[in-house]
Chain A
Amino acid sequence: MPEAKIGAIFDEMGLNDQECRRAYLGLRDWLNETPADILALRREEAETFFRKIGITFAVYGEGGDPERIIPFDIIPRILEAAEWRHITAGLTQRVRALNAFIADVYGAQDIVRAGLMPADQIILNDTYRHQMQGITVPNGIYTHISGIDMVRVSADEFYVLEDNVRTPSGVSYMLENREITMRLFPDLFSRHAVAPVDHYCDELLTTLSSVPPRHCDREPTVVVMTPGIYNSAYYEHSFLADQMGVELVEGPDLYVKDDIVYMRTTQGPKRVDVIYRRVDDEFLDPLAFRADTALGVAGLMNAYRAGNVNLANAVGAGIADDKSTYTFVPAMIEFYLGEKPILNNVPTFRCGEPDDLKYVLERLDELVVKETHGSGGYGMLIGPKSTKAEREMFAARIKATPDKYIAQPTLALSTCPTFVNEGIAPRHVDLRPFVLAGKDIRVVPGGLTRVALTEGSLVVNSSQGGGTKDTWVLED
């Protein structure tokens, strides 16, 4: 059973100690030279820019402006080359293992035979898609685009918080944040050797083109598939399609005839080979999954099975990003790759296990409790910040369906200097790098840094008032 421990808060610039950390020396000098009113002015310009180009994010069920923009903090977060090399090695390893795991789930299920994972963990999981059993996917890749959420707790300790291998979003913020930083702070930018990220969309297209379906003997036609303008990440879908120079399609733009997928164009039907779909499994094909949806394409799964189209990410990949599967990832790395994990998991209690459950219920005031299928920071209890009533409510819920919950110690997330109303102050951050897996694995040096703008808050989710930062990886 893991142990819960709480450490001191690590600031990545060194705001809490006397010593400024090396990567931040240039930033420190620049901040010293730049008056606060200039920073405030730049922040306003940034907001106008985001509003104008229409980068918005829909937040549901809260009233107010449904197309709000995520606050952008103008102070970049900086990582050193050596730190990044370590992270990249860890991410690459992790995504290889996740792909091997998903292939195993829809194949022989060796991991179950080996006694490392209970069969129920797979078969009874809501994200398991029996329709995928026996389907072979090109190059054995199931998660082509992965967003791995990480947190840092000290100078050399990074933890993986969760793996997002269904339809991870946020990469457009990584790119637009860089764009705006270069535009607003050319002087600061030019003082650093910042590794570029703008080739992400090229890498994405290369990745998608490298995994054509079995029956495709020409340059594959790639499209991005979106649920439509009411989806919270619609801006990103349209941004990626535009940057890759491919069509952004909705379900009704596609149809399947003789197990071949076509899109309707002004010049007649055009064959589609690879679909980067940002539509959830259940909505992809009314014949195979939920029948009450107009977002999908009837017959898509048949075309997929026939090897006439490839889907990224693969149907059923979600089995690997379920929060209860997460706890098995270190074991997967050893089992499939025969390697020691480079990046560690956060110690996690599975409420489904009686010992863990007992421990969790006794320490609800110290732990973070999450729903195994939840996302976006909804349905989460942060023990130290909770009221007695909230804890009692959660205890009841956990007891009713323990399998649906995991718990983790409240980590001392690192902080970064952030420009808030009071001036420059440390705020907690996380990091979501994006890993591309096709013929080979690529990680663009950067990612999405999310920041909890409220003092002391640990919730970085944009749906809960979090902001974003540009993330710099310095070159040696």
Chain B
Amino acid sequence: MLSRTADSLYWIARYMERAENLSRILRVTDRLSLMPKLAGTGSNEWHSTIVVSDCEEGFYEKYEEATAEHVISYLAFDPDNPSSIRSCIEAARRNARSVRTALTTEQWECLNGTWLEMSRMKESRLRGGGLHGFLDWVKERTLMFHGSTVATMLRRDSFHFMQLGTFIERGDNTARILDVKYHVLLPEHAEVGGGIDYYQWAAILRAVSGYRGYHALYNEGIKPWLVADFLIMREEMPRSLVACMGKVKECLDHLADEYGQRHESHRMAGRRYSQLRFGKVDDVFGQGLHLFLEQFIDQNNDLGAEISRSYLM
């Protein structure tokens, strides 16, 4: 397979996953912003969203203040933001066009249909309570795309490259969503573990479709260290860091079997996976959750770059 074809497949999956997660991040932020605000706190949720989406620079070039309207516009619709939901969908479809024949009809029709609908959509639909309808639509389309991939693609290199893209991106995004909590400061007089803290963690769980899953796995109320355990260490949770890393390792193993060749990326993925698989959440908190997540995001980027070197260049 041409390296460019593999690269395009990998990025189609990454862009669609990114679009999905952006919609999740916007949802959690919107929820957090609705919580009661006490004296002495600025409204910082929208700023935190810009920070965790890694687009502070571009955003503040354009806007002075991170208001809800600005952030939603920038992350959802802005063509100047290469990572906005619209840009992701366009990029996925552009890549798909260049590798049309490597995709199944169902995948192509899903991508093409999503793009057509997105390009006809007016930004004004987000106003006056339209945000959640839009975010639901994004989730629906991206999930449909995953479904079409899993249900129709032949299990060979092309499939594994797409899965790699999905899980590298998802790991990154779960870490970022979890990190939202770090950036959203508690109001001055609120207690850690108090009511507001509780709602913030609950919002995070909802954003990753994990609210019920959490309660199914833990017979306790929402505890910060358990939420972290859930999103980092639990393989049952399909968006957790360990689950993503497990899938990355699995895809790389399939490629090694198919091609009869192993690379540095295999060693790296194996090591990252083992660290998560056999690590303890206490260590995470010992190190500091925010620091741990930052480190994970960096290492995940390195792994992505190494996968590129192995196959995609």
Residues on A facing B (Cβ under 8 Å): 52, 54, 228-229, 234, 238, 241-242, 247-250, 252-253, 263-267
Contacts and interface: CB of A to CB of B under 8 A. Distances in A.
A247 B3 CA distance: 11
B157 interface: yes
A253 B97 contact: no
Q: Which of B3, B109, B112 has the most CB of A within 10 A?
A: B3
Given A54-B108, A229-B98, A263-B2, 4 more contacts: A54-B100, A242-B101, A249-B2, A266-B311
Q: Chain B at the A interface: mostly helix, strand, loop or mixed? A: helix
Contacts of A54: 97, 100, 108, 112
Given A54-B100, A229-B98, A266-B157, A253 B108 contact: no
Given A242-B101, A267-B261, A253 B112 contact: no
Contacts of B5: 247
A54 B100 CA distance: 10
A5 B263 CA distance: 72
Contact of B2 (A52, A229, A238, A253): A253
8 contacts: A54-B100, A228-B98, A234-B97, A238-B100, A242-B100, A264-B3, A266-B157, A266-B312
B278 interface: no
A309 B261 CA distance: 29
Contacts of B98: 228-229
Nearest to A264: B3
Nearest to B312: A266
Nearest to A250: B4
Interface of B: 1-6, 94, 97-98, 100-101, 108-109, 112, 157, 161, 255, 259, 261, 311-313
Contacts of A52: 109
B4 A264 contact: yes
A248 B97 contact: no
Contacts of A253: 2-4
Nearest to A241: B101
A266 B6 contact: yes
B51 to A, nearest CB: 35
Given A54-B108, A242-B101, A229 B3 contact: no
A-B CB proximity, top 10 nearest: A242-B101, A264-B3, A266-B311, A266-B6, A229-B97, A266-B1, A229-B98, A253-B4, A267-B259, A238-B100
A122 B259 CA distance: 51
Given A238-B100, A238-B101, A248-B101, A264 B2 contact: yes
B101 to A, nearest CB: 4
Q: Chain A at the B interface: mostly helix, strand, loop or mixed? A: mixed
Given A52-B109, A54-B112, A266 B3 contact: yes
A265 B3 contact: yes
A265 B101 contact: no
A265 B7 CA distance: 10
A167 to B, nearest CB: 19
Nearest to A263: B2
A476 to B, nearest CB: 37
Given A229-B97, A247-B2, A266 B108 contact: no
Contacts of B311: 266
Given A52-B109, A266-B259, A252 B101 contact: no
Nearest to A269: B3
Nearest to B100: A238
Contacts of B161: 266
A265 B1 contact: yes
Q: Which of A54, A242, A266 has the most CB of B within 10 A?
A: A266
A207 to B, nearest CB: 21
A252 B100 CA distance: 18
Nearest to B260: A267
Nearest to A270: B2
A239 to B, nearest CB: 8
A252 B7 CA distance: 13
A255 to B, nearest CB: 11
Given A54-B112, A242-B101, A248-B101, A265 B94 contact: no
A247 to B, nearest CB: 5
Contacts of A242: 100-101
B294 to A, nearest CB: 31
A252 B313 CA distance: 10
A115 B159 CA distance: 62
Nearest to B94: A229
Contacts of A247: 2, 5
A238 to B, nearest CB: 5
A179 B259 CA distance: 37
Given A54-B100, A228-B98, A248-B101, A264 B109 contact: no
Contacts of B108: 54
A244 to B, nearest CB: 11
Contacts of B259: 266-267
Contacts of B101: 238, 241-242, 248
Given A228-B98, A229-B98, A238-B100, A265 B112 contact: no
Q: Which of B98, B161, B261, B311 has the most CB of A within 10 A?
A: B98
Contacts of A252: 4
A459 to B, nearest CB: 29
Contacts of B3: 253, 264-266
A326 B6 CA distance: 44
A140 to B, nearest CB: 32
Contacts of A264: 2-4, 313
B180 to A, nearest CB: 36
Nearest to A254: B2
Contacts of B255: 266
Q: Which of A247, A249, A267 has the most CB of B within 10 A?
A: A267
Contacts of B261: 267
Contacts of A265: 1-3
Contacts of B94: 229
Contacts of B6: 266
Contacts of A267: 1, 259, 261
A276 to B, nearest CB: 15
A300 B112 CA distance: 35
B114 to A, nearest CB: 14
Nearest to B113: A52
B38 to A, nearest CB: 53
A147 B100 CA distance: 26
A181 B4 CA distance: 35
A48 to B, nearest CB: 12
Q: Which of A228, A247, A252, A264 has the most CB of B within 10 A?
A: A264
Q: Which of B101, B109, B313 has the most CB of A within 10 A?
A: B101
Contacts of A250: 4
B215 to A, nearest CB: 43
